[in-house]
Structure 1
Amino acid sequence: MLIEARDELTQNRDVPERPLKRRRPGEGRRAQVEAPRDSAVRATDSRTGLATSLDASQDDDVQFEDVVLPAPTVQTVLRDSDDDDEDDDIDFEDVAIEPAASSAAVAGEGSSKALNLDLSAHMAAAGPRRADRRKAINREEREHRVETHKVHLVCLLAHVELRNRWCNDAEVQDALRPLLPQKTVSALVPRASLNQFGRSESLKKGLQEAKELFKREFSITERGLWRALWAEDEEELKSYQLPDDMESTLDKSDFLEAAKTMQGSRDVGAQLFCALLRSVGVEARLVCSLQPLPFVPGAPSMPKQRKASTPQKQPSKAELYAAAVAKHETKFPEFQAGATTPPPRQRLGHPLATAYHIPSIIAPSHPPPQPSASSTPRKIRGESPFPVYWVEVLDVAHQKWHPVDPLVTHTQYKPRALEPPASDTLNNLTYAIAFASDSSAVDVTRRYAKAYTSKTRKQRIDNNNLPQTTTNTNTNTNNTRWYRLLLTRYTRPPPPTDLDQIERHELAAEEAREPMPRNVADFKDHPVYALERHLRRHEVLVPGAQPSGTVSAGTGARARAGLGAGAGAGVGAAPSRLERIYRRRDVRMARTKDKWFRLGRVVREGEEAVKSIPRRKRRTRRGVGSDDDDEKGDGDDDQDRVGLFGDAVPGYVPLYTEEQTDAYVAQPVVGGRVPKNKFGNVEVYVPSMVPRGGVHIGHKRAAQAAFILGVDYAPALTRFEFRGRQGTAVLNGAVVAEEAGEAIWAVIQGLGDLEAEEEQERRSRRALRMWSRFLKELRIRERIWAGVDAEAEAEAEGEAEGKGKGVVQEEGVEMGDVSEDDMGGGGFFVPDEDEEDDGGRGGFIVG
């Protein structure tokens, strides 16, 4: 073997071979890339992907000449970056994404060869990828979800209102009243002679007894209300099947039957418990945690349905026992019947084992009484361990409402124990609405939510930080107003009672006592606190803002909040990274000069910008990013373009706060002459921008009236209508001198009257033309049948009717379906002989 190796080495001595490089520990295989041996150096265009030569000698032959662009005829303005936050319109939700392929083909630069990049080893070392990712929700989808959320909310409120009315039914209360003994009723309705503490303790003891009695008597046999979720695919809804044990109480008769049999879902049980308390004179409210379809991104989606399998017959206990015995005898043949083995008591090895009497397992003739179904309530699989319905009872002594849950958590006077965690996909506490016996409702969510301001409030429709929509810029205010109007439908008419005012102050105090959030995510859009990282593009902190605390923002560390600027900064306990917490009242909105001018304010001279933000790149049809002010979409910044105030548009936009601005004062009207801008109009974005000595007449005929009177006027520019990034001026009325205002309105009224008269004349002319045509047709008909007797005329008309000609209405044909062409140009409507012509139907009588 050594000789053969030496000969082979001698033959290959002329071929130089590079020694192998020693592989480092943990180093994988490296893909060897064979570079193309081409003398011409080529580059790849990043936008088109085509290889182009770097030789620029061909561009020397190209000549350019200046082209004069026509002057614009329409006043336009480019939208500021603060007018439209496109990034804020993109929301994300959790979806499942399949893992990427293990290899990818990479095209070589300037060559047709392809290289295979193997990433399987790297992906295996990195571990399994996360299945949950976030996909973007566009603006249309978000608006659709918000509207669906509103509709679902209205339907759920109507459903709870109906169930609350059922609780007041006399038959239902009569069926439930015998469940409570007289002692419990006396405790629920204490004597007025007792002191405040005694009445409160008596009510608490009576509720405990009533809760135990009702829990023992009522049996849960059906599934109650659960959280509504979105389906990722429409096909999932087609294959979705409702559970077999869903609630069957659909009308009032079913509710009465459930009260008599004491069976149903736990939601029906809570409603019956409310009716039971009302039947003995206790003031109780029915509380429901509404479960509408969520509109926030990241909400859990509907789980995929399993394929329905063929139902199999469940074996009986005797069959299971026989199968177990057969399996035992097969596995241990020495224990089969008839085998020569010692008896079981002898095999125990104890001398007294044979004296022990083994009890018989044969069923007795009279089996012992089994516990009733009511004492051992049935557990429905897949239900949330937290209730959807519960009851609030009024403690008259202290004028306070207390929650009672008799079936799910078995708690009373513990409102914090009724809120499900965020991981519960079947129950979510977002809207807790309490309905009283008079059908009035109150939103009591703040009583049960532990983090109402930082968590629960973000999932509600009255959240003031919802992204704006395209249809209305005041969407946040409209959603809040919409929810208040919805609750007004169920609000007790004024004036409010003392109990209502006490509860209102109690709920406000609950919200005010909410502690500072303990993680970074809860600070986003918080109404009280703010982090600098969560400030929007046009939000800044006031100079000298003092932090209210710090929060730990270290990677992988649990966020902890401090109550002071130096909280958590102790030796050995300080987190790796701390962020300062500021008050929301120290955050100001910063805008550009153009935006402030449209709000009726101007930036003072010499003010420095508090913040500069880069302009957004917009997408064009060719997919190339361009600047907001680049109308051609070529991606180049036009440095010759100027803004509203003549300043050049840079790549960054300076922002100013309201403290750096003053109210805009327009040039006054002197001698009846209205000052105008270079476009010939006056900017009147707000009423304070009207020039002193002038008046704004917001009517479409204002300019025409001023022209008729011969007074000086200027069209009023009130706003810009944006379609995309470019806005077109919207003119509304005109600005004239103040002394000519009344004359302008008088002329406008005269023009309106004149237009009404002209419209009346046009209608009269149309009516006269119609009557003239009818008269001509009558004359033609009279001339045709002048020398014909009545019998021939009737016979001719009968033949015309048989052929379908004329205007006689056939069976199944309406007169409105007969056109003028079908009438032959000479038809007319003749009323029946027994029908009187009252002059209001447009008929004619032939003389």
Structure 2
Amino acid sequence: MADNAWPRSPRTSDEGAELSDSGQSSENGVIHLEIGGETAEEKEKRLAWALRKKPLTSKDRALRLEAHKTHVIALLASARIRNRWCNNMLLKARLLSLLPHPLQSAFNIPPSRFPDRAQRSRLFFDALQSLATWWSQSFFDVSDDTLGLRTRPWDEVQGIVDALPRLTRREILGTSFGSRGDSLDELEKLSTNSGGERLRSPNSLMKKVLQQEGSRDVMAQLFVALARACGLGARLVTSLQAIPWRAEKQSTPKKKKGAGRNGQSLASRQGNGPASDNEDDEEDDMEEVPIPSHTEDSDGGKAPRNNTKKATIRQAGRRRHIDPADVYRLRAPKPPPQTPSTPTAARKRPELLSNQPPVFWCEIYSRSDQRWIPVDPVRGTIRKKSHFEPVSDNGSVRMLYVVAYEEGESRRDVVSNTPDGHARDVTLRYTKNFGAKTSKLRVPLRKDEEDWWSEITAFLQRPNRLQRDELEDAELETSQFSEGMPLHLNGFKDHPIYVLERHLKREEVITPKREIGRFKGEPVYRRSNVVSCKTAENWMRLGRRVKNKEEPLKWVKQRAVTLQKRRMQELALQERGEAVQQGLYAQWQTDVYIPPPIHNGEIPQNSFGNIDLYAPTMLPAGAVHLPYKGIAKVAKALTISYAEACTGFEFKKQRAIPVITGIVVAKENERIVLDAYWESAAAAESRERVKKEERALKRWVKLINGLRVRARLQEEYGGSGQVGTADSAFR
């Protein structure tokens, strides 16, 4: 009876030994039995497989790129508005009234009093350092280190978007979204929980000045306004924290050495160590809760004094002294389990930004040195460009685009509060590895297309360039060319300065091969020594011909674009046993192809009955090109020597289709052919006009006949009121 009541689960000797080990290591001698089902490790693997990161498709990649571009433009607009707020006259007057007079007068360094340029520069740096130190240590405080702009991963942004209220079609197409109070409240709640800071106007900045505290971003913006109030040339520099378009790398924690089943070590299974690697983290999650004492309840909350050591605990807005022994350690509540069907919403506490580089900072123009000096108003440092670049590419603050906004060009622009302040890209000043790291995080450059970021910054740049702009361009160019060699192999790919031979494309050759260094034993060359080569056939399509006695710089496998070439390659492979090779030549190995002149008005033709005219220089002397459609029929009717001009090829369905653009005739026959063509074109246009008129008349006849049929049907079968309407419509 007992044997039938309890079903037995088939187990091996190893499982029994494991069960006994778990029983010995369990607390109070309790043995846990699991009959059937899946183990915790199998469940964890199943959930990890369901929640795994799938590779990005081309559609996902395009969507992320468009979202990245839109976010960059929105951040540029936001920074432009903040820069305009920094020019507010009332805000600058209020800041100037709070500034000590010695700090302001320290910037009065006239050349007549200090003729030495080095001395003026030293005094300017001292005054600037004193101003930054006073601002960061004495005047303004950071109220909350979690407030400020930061880079949010794609999954976190997707969770925020999913939490937004759904909009109707009328709200999307119209302007009624602002009238929904619940939508605005939800947006404000999301921005507050995610570390956002709401500033409505310059009055919000003035309020922060009176409070003398705010976020790191506001601190930097107010410092820019103060510097402009002191008469200094100040820029508002911002590092755009756009949503990344690349897939984030997921770091998986590694098991400790000696860890066994479920990540437990031998010592943990024997009861001499933590049960798992995360036990220490779980201990940190424990929270202390004081035990209410009887004396406290009876004496109105007053506990007797004790000579033992007291612990100060902040609770309910007041400080109490209680015995650390009278404290329960309770485990913090765990979040609900994550399932594959419900994505995680980004509700976690914002990360502290105190250890991250600033997102906003300032640049002050030094007239004596004629260059821009970076200033960090949060830390109170100057001339430390390396402190603005983050250490990691996956942190809360990243550096992709750094844009500097200047003040208005004239006082009239500042007073009228017009959209002033031209901007420019200064990323090269603050990045050490722009070509190896930063440029790869931006929007990729497509072939035969202009750079998207260059087109965007063209709208922000000053139309009339100044001398200081030329000097800054030279400084940024020097910093780019002085970039050090990448430390990783991936940094050499598409690097603007350095290149490895393994990263060359099929048509690229390094000449001359001058090593400038070595990377793990592999020679490194200059990118400027990379030459783009082409085959003799491709050079001919550009109107150039390979010179005599020129040897190819590189041999590559011939590409089979058309079906005919593929068959030829297969036959050659069967006969020779190796693939067909073709040579590549550089441009300096070719010259412009000049065909021989025509004789007696005869146009030369190739084997296909036309003439190659891939470039204007390929037109023979004494001939003329007539690029008109249908002109070949006219020349054929006049029995004049001509040849159809082949200007290129289109590859469709594994075939090379020639592009025919007009004809080539002798120059003495040009007028005759053109007169006949224009006459033929006029006659064709007249015939087309007659056809259109005939089609229009046929449609009118069809319409009138239909109206007649409708009127007759209404008269015979319709009512009395509808007959008059039909008759009037027909008449």
Q: How does 1:772-783 map to 2 (within 5 A)?
A: none
Q: 1:585 aligns with which of 517, 528, 535?
A: 528
Q: Partner residue of 1:217? A: 140
Secondary structure of the 1:183 match is helix
Retained in 1: the 8 A contact 2:598–2:622?
yes
Match of 2:28 in 1: none
Q: Partner amino acid for 2:361?
A: W
- CA-based RMSD of the aligned residues comes to 4.9
Q: Does the CA-based 8 Å contact 1:286-1:434 persist in structure 2? A: yes
Q: 1:600 to 1:634 in 2, by over 3 A?
A: closer
Partners of 2:557 and 2:582 within 8 A in 1: yes
Q: State the TM-score, normalizing by the size of structure 2.
A: 0.65
Structure 2 counterpart of 1:433, one-letter code: V
Choose the corresponding residue for 1:431, options 384, 392, 401.
401
Separation in structure 1 between the aligned mates of residue 606 and residue 311 of structure 2, nearest angstrom: 109
**Contact 1:175–1:260 (8 Å) recurs in 2:** no
Correspondence for 1:694 among 600, 604, 623: 623
Amino acid at match of 2:515: P
Query: How does 1:811-830 map onto structure 2 within 5 Å?
Result: 828=729
Per the alignment, residue 267 of structure 1 pairs with: 217
Measured after TM superposition, the shift of residue 244 of structure 1 is 0.8
Q: 2:484 maps to which residue? A: 515
Matched, 1:670 2:586: no
Structure 2 residue aligned with 1:154: 73
Q: Does 1:288 align with 2:238?
A: yes
How far 1:455 moved relative to its partner? 2.9
Partner Cα separation in structure 2 for residue 139 and residue 596 of structure 1: 34
- Which runs of structure 2 are paired with 1:313-332 in the superposition (5 Å)? 320=290, 322=292
Deviates more, 1:695-704 or 1:413-422: 695-704
Secondary structure of residue in 1 paired with 2:473: helix
What are the within-5 Å matches in structure 2 for residues 15-26 of structure 1? none
Identical residues among aligned pairs (%)? 31
User: What is the CA-CA distance between 1:747 and the residue it aligns to?
Assistant: 5.0
Does the Cα contact within 8 Å between 1:300 and 1:425 map onto a contact in 2? no
| Displacement after TM superposition at 1:723 (Å) | 4.2
CA contact (8 A) 1:232 1:301 kept: no
Indicate which of 474, 483, 492 corresponds to 2:448: 474
Specify the SS of the correspondent of 1:515.
coil
Unmatched tracts of structure 1, length 5 or more = 1-132, 304-313, 327-335, 346-357, 369-378, 554-577, 617-626, 786-792, 808-822, 830-845
Q: How far apart, CA to CA, are the structure 1 residues paired with 2:134 and 2:69?
A: 39
Deviation at 1:437, TM superposition (A): 1.1
CA contact (8 A) 1:592 1:656 kept: yes
Distance 1:541 1:778, change over 3 A: closer
CA distance in 2 between counterparts of 1:737 and 1:260 reads 86
- Aligned-partner residue type, residue 169 of structure 1: N
> Which amino acid in structure 2 is aligned with residue 292 of structure 1?
A
Closer, same or farther: CA 749–649 of 1 in aligned 2, 3 Å: farther
Which structure shows the higher helix fraction? 2
Deviation at 1:404, TM superposition (A): 0.9
What SS class does the counterpart of residue 546 from structure 1 fall into? coil
In 1, the alpha carbon distance for the partners of 2:251 and 2:680 equals 63
Shift of 1:385: 1.0
SS in 1 for 2:84: helix
Aligned with 1:204 (options 125, 143, 148): 125
**AA paired with 1:549?**
G
Per-residue CA deviation, residues 231-288 of structure 1 (Å, 9 max, x unaligned), is 4997796369766152232532544544444444322221222122222322211111
Amino acid at match of 1:399: Q
Distance 2:497 2:210 in 1: 51
Cα separation, 2, equivalents of 1:648 and 1:691: 42
| Equivalent residue letter for 1:510 | S
Distance 1:243 1:719, change over 3 A: farther
Residues 162 and 655 of structure 1, relative CA distance in 2, 3 Å threshold: same
Which of 356, 360, 371 pairs up with 1:385?
A: 356
Distance 1:233 1:362, change over 3 A: closer
Structure 2 vs 1, CA of residues 538 and 325 (structure 1 numbering), >3 Å: closer, same or farther?
A: farther
How far does residue 659 in structure 1 lie from its aligned partner after superposition?
4.2
Alpha carbons of structure 1 residues 740 and 140: separation in structure 2 relative to 1, 3 Å = farther
Partner of 2:602: helix, strand, or coil? coil
Residues in 1 aligned to 2:99 and 2:291: alpha-carbon distance in whole angstroms: 45
- SS of corresponding position for 1:638: helix
1:66-85 map, 5 Å: none
Letter of the 2:359 partner, please give it: V
CA distance, structure 2, for counterparts of residue 606 and residue 432 of structure 1:
52
Q: How many residues align?
A: 567
Aligned pairs for 1:423-822 within 5 A: 423-438=393-408, 439-461=421-443, 466=445, 468=446, 473-475=447-449, 478-479=450-451, 482-494=452-464, 496-542=465-511, 545-551=513-519, 553=520, 578-604=521-547, 607-614=550-557, 637-639=570-572, 650-707=579-636, 709-723=638-652, 726-747=655-676, 749-750=678-679, 753-754=682-683, 757-758=686-687, 760-761=689-690, 799-801=720-722
Give me the whole-angstrom Cα distance separating, in 1, the residues matched to 2:358 and 2:608.
Answer: 66
Name the aligned partner's letter for residue 154 of structure 2. W
> 1:245 and 1:150 mapped to 2: Cα distance?
22
1:682 is paired with a residue of what secondary structure? strand
3-state SS of paired residue (1:510) = helix
Contact 1:777 1:827 in 2 (8 A): no
Give, in angstroms, the shift of residue 289 of structure 1.
1.1
Cα 1:766–1:194 change in 2 (3 A) is farther
1:176 touches 1:260 (CA, 8 Å); kept in 2? no
- 1:248: which partner in 2? 197
Shift of 1:491: 1.6
Unpaired stretches in structure 2, ≥5 consecutive residues: 1-51, 165-189, 253-284, 297-302, 320-348, 409-420
Deviates more, 1:601-610 or 1:134-143: 134-143
Letter in 2 for 1:828: A
> What's the CA shift for 1:395?
1.2
